Amino acid sequence: MKPFYPFRYCPLCGTKLETREHEGRERLYCPKCKIIIWENPVPVVACVVLNENQEVLLVKRGVPPAEGMWALPSGFMEMGEQPEETAKRELFEETGIVGEVEEIIGICGQSSLKYRWIVSIGYKLRWISGKLRPGDDAVDVRFFSLNSLPEIPFSTHRKMIEKVKARKHPR
């Protein structure tokens, strides 16, 4: 993967960045500070909540990317936050549901236009309390049958739902 060219200037001194080979990859480099500007994936958390009918909770996104499409409740980890806290916070912010983490479903990388590469951590949560309502970045929220899901734009979300579905219906 090539460096993320939208970053053109050193964040410390403002010098125009160069690229140089380091540890097998082309990196952004500041010739004045003599430092590499490291680029790393951004962690996000996605939440799978099933109701008593084994339907999965989705939110209709009110913000880009994929505005207007249905996806798992999800969001970016904050600095200093543990991933399980992110899951519970995002679930509550987007759906009004207070959840308890049951297990990790999986961890998976995905390309992103804005962040270039994100790592999505999927958690399964149990609905403990709270009333379903769309909040924050969501315009609608509801449960869908695992057999008749709308088009879900994120491959990581599709994979996580498939994993949970496979466990519910062991072959």
Q: Is 51 in the site for Zn ion (CB under 5 A)?
A: no
Q: Is 16 in the site for Zn ion (CB under 5 A)?
A: no
**CB nearer to Zn ion: pick between 32 and 133:** 32
Q: Is 63 in the site for Zn ion (CB under 5 A)?
A: no
Q: Is 22 in the site for Zn ion (CB under 5 A)?
A: no
- Residue from 3, 10, 46, 70 that binds Zn ion (CB under 5 A)? 10
- Residue from 4, 7, 9, 12 that binds Zn ion (CB under 5 A)? 12
Min. distance of Cβ 37 from Zn ion in angstroms?
8
Q: Is 13 in the site for Zn ion (CB under 5 A)?
A: yes
Q: Please give the structure tokens belonging to residue 42.
A: 């951004």
- Residue from 30, 37, 56, 105 that binds Zn ion (CB under 5 A)? 30
Q: Is 107 in the site for Zn ion (CB under 5 A)?
A: no
The Cα 147–Cα 137 span in angstroms is: 26
End-to-end CA, the chain:
38
Question: HEC states along 5-56?
Answer: CCCCECCCCCCECEEEEECCEEEEEECCCCEEECCCCEEEEEEEEECCCCEE
Q: Is 139 in the site for Zn ion (CB under 5 A)?
A: no
Q: Is 32 in the site for Zn ion (CB under 5 A)?
A: yes
Q: Please give the structure tokens belonging to residue 6.
A: 């939208």
Q: Please give the structure tokens belonging to residue 5.
A: 């060219």
Contact 156, 46 (CB under 8 A): yes
